[in-house]
Amino acid sequence: MANLSRQLRGRIRSVQNTRRITRTQELVATSKLKRAQDRVVAARPYAQALRETIADLVTPELMERFPLLRRPAPPSKGGPSRAAIILVTSNRGLCGAFNSNLIKEARRRADELSAAGLTVEFHCVGRKGAGFLKYIGKKLAADRQDIGDRPTAQHAASLVDQLMADFGAGHLASLDIVHAKFNSPISTPPTTTRVLPVETPTGGNKVRPDYILKPGPDAILENLLPLYVRNAIYRGLVETAAGEHGARRTAMKNATDNAGEILNALRTAYNKGRQAQITQEISEIVGGAAALEG
Amino acid sequence: MIQVTLIGPEASVFTGDAEAVTVPAYDGQVGILPNHAPFMTLLGKGTLTVKQGGAEHRFNVQGGFLQVVSNRVRVVAEQVAPA
């Protein structure tokens, strides 16, 4: 009996420690989430401004003239057979199914592209995605673990500029980015976004006739398209960073709650055992005294 | 008065009313005063100056574009830092 209650005490202590850790992780994730969320919101005006302006400038006649807008021929008709996927995951774990969902989405996309006769290459951001893809024996075209949870526009540019050049030169058939879409801290579904060829935003207002455009709509568009592509990557990076913290907060909150439940069960068992022991001791004493009197 | 917004890829850097803005366009400095015609151009590299009352705000910008419509100036710069 004494042995059992000692074991229970040990388990209670260990669960208490675990709960302390998960609760701290939850608090850390909450404060990091706040800052990451601010960055997602702060990045919106730029994306919005680019989208509006490109929508205003783009016309069907211009489409064929820009390498970044051109849709390459399928590989069966002599088009490029290389397709790239940028997979954005986090560097750290303990965030539930967040990373595995992203990896699953990337593999689904890769299967689709392979079925279309393309050779898929993976560009990984974050340790988790790279680790898994290496484990299943995929070779990575890029493995970026330096970006962390504070991505910058420079990070996005360094990721995509080479790919953009390859696409422009006709060596690359397409570029997708698999990232978490940050709807809210508790809704961060894995999403695939087509980056190249650029799907031009629509619904722009016609450029007003009295508008002075220097050096002309096509030159402006040519300069803005790379910005738009880099921004698509940057958005994927910041949204995933924010999503990671949201997912971690949820996972750690669940872990803390579960630890609380286990603690309750253990304490009940411990107290029951203690009570049974006391009752038994009392009845032994009473029995002993009765025997002496008798 | 003209309403100026300066937007960088990571955040909006400046919003406010101003009397005049000088912007480094791809082919040289461009000054914007109130009632400027609708205008769009590419940015070069250089210093953007916003004149506001007696004060001047300066920013180093590079790449992006400038848009002027009905006294609203929108500068979208790929690189921007306070100078």
Per the structure, the count of domains in chain B is: 1
Tell me the HSE value of A120 on the side-chain side, using a 13 A CA sphere: 20
Q: Please, are residues B43 and B59 in contact by the beta-carbon 8 Å criterion?
A: no
Q: Please, are residues A253 and A29 in contact by the beta-carbon 8 Å criterion?
A: no
| Shared domain check, A195 and A89 | yes
| Shared domain check, A144 and A62 | yes
Domain hosting A109: range is 32-246
Q: Which of A117-121, A170-174, A214-218 shows the lowest mean pLDDT across its residues?
A: A214-218
**How big is chain B by its Cα radius of gyration, in Å?**
11
pLDDT at A61: 74
For residue A215, give the nearest of A205, A223, A227 by alpha carbon.
A223
Whether B64 is covered by a domain: the verdict is: yes
Residues in a beta bridge with A176: A85, A194
pLDDT at A89: 94
pLDDT tens figures, B56-71: 999 999 999 999 988 9
Share above pLDDT 70 across residues of chain A, in percent, rounded to a whole number: 96
| Shared domain check, A94 and A236 | yes
Whether the per-residue pLDDT at A246 is higher than 80: the answer is yes
Whether A26 is covered by a domain: the verdict is: no
Measured between beta carbons, the chain A residues lying within 8 angstroms of B14 are none
- For residue A46, how many other CB atoms are within 10 A of its CB? 25
CATH of the domain at A265: 1.10.287
| Shared domain check, A264 and A154 | no
Whether B82 is covered by a domain: the verdict is: no
Cα dist. A23→A27, A251, A270 in Å? 6, 10, 24
pLDDT at A267: 94
- The pair of structure tokens assigned to A294 is 């008798």
Residues in chain B: 83
| Shared domain check, A210 and A71 | yes
For residue A237, give the nearest of A165, A163, A181, A166 by alpha carbon.
A181
Put simply, the answer to whether A227 touches B37 (Cβ < 8 Å) is: no
| Shared domain check, A258 and A198 | no
pLDDT tens figures, A66-85: 888 888 888 888 788 899 99
Whether the per-residue pLDDT at A209 is higher than 80: the answer is no
Whether B56 is covered by a domain: the verdict is: yes
CATH of the domain at B39: 2.60.15.10
Whether B83 is covered by a domain: the verdict is: no
| Shared domain check, A160 and A58 | yes
CATH of the domain at A93: 3.40.1380.10
Q: In the 8-state DSSP scheme, what is residue A37?
A: H
| pLDDT band, very low/low/confident/very high, at A63 (cuts 50, 70, 90) | confident
Whether the per-residue pLDDT at A148 is higher than 90: the answer is no
**Token pair 């008709």: residue:** A77
- Which helix (H) or strand (E) segment holds residue B39: the answer is strand B39-42
Whether A158 is covered by a domain: the verdict is: yes
Put simply, the answer to whether A46 touches B25 (Cβ < 8 Å) is: no
pLDDT tens figures, B10-56: 999 999 999 999 999 999 999 999 999 999 999 999 999 999 988 99
Q: Give CA–CA dist B80/B83, Å, rounded.
A: 9
Whether the per-residue pLDDT at A1 is higher than 60: the answer is no
| Shared domain check, A258 and A242 | no
Q: Mind giving me the DSSP string for A212-277? A: EEES-HHHHHHHHHHHHHHHHHHHHHHHHHHHHHHHHHHHHHHHHHHHHHHHHHHHHHHHHHHHHH
CA A220 to chain B, closest CA, distance in angstroms equals 6
Whether B80 is covered by a domain: the verdict is: no
Residues in a beta bridge with A191: A179
Question: Given B8, B10, B38, which is nearest A210 (Cβ)?
Answer: B38
| Shared domain check, A111 and A173 | yes
Average confidence score pLDDT of chain A: 90
| Shared domain check, A97 and A45 | yes
Whether the per-residue pLDDT at A250 is higher than 80: the answer is yes
pLDDT at A205: 67
What beta strand segments (E) does A106-158 contain? Answer: 119-125, 140-144
Domain hosting B44: range is 2-75
Q: Please, are residues B54 and B46 in contact by the beta-carbon 8 Å criterion?
A: no
Q: Please, are residues A90 and A98 in contact by the beta-carbon 8 Å criterion?
A: yes
Task: Tell me the average pLDDT across A268-273.
Answer: 93
Measured between beta carbons, the chain B residues lying within 8 angstroms of A53 are 40, 65, 67, 76
Per the structure, the count of domains in chain A is: 2
Cα dist. A100→A43, A194, A247, A252, B38 in Å? 26, 21, 12, 17, 50
Put simply, the answer to whether A53 touches B65 (Cβ < 8 Å) is: yes
The distance from CA A72 to its chain's CA centroid, rounded to whole angstroms, is 30
Put simply, the answer to whether A43 touches B10 (Cβ < 8 Å) is: yes
Q: Please, are residues A204 and A52 in contact by the beta-carbon 8 Å criterion?
A: yes
Q: Give CA–CA dist A251/A35, Å, rounded.
A: 19
| pLDDT band, very low/low/confident/very high, at A137 (cuts 50, 70, 90) | confident
pLDDT at A57: 83
pLDDT at A4: 76
| pLDDT band, very low/low/confident/very high, at A258 (cuts 50, 70, 90) | very high
Share above pLDDT 90 across residues of chain A, in percent, rounded to a whole number: 66
Put simply, the answer to whether A39 touches B10 (Cβ < 8 Å) is: yes
Whether B55 is covered by a domain: the verdict is: yes
pLDDT at A65: 81
| Shared domain check, A286 and A178 | no
| Shared domain check, A45 and A17 | no
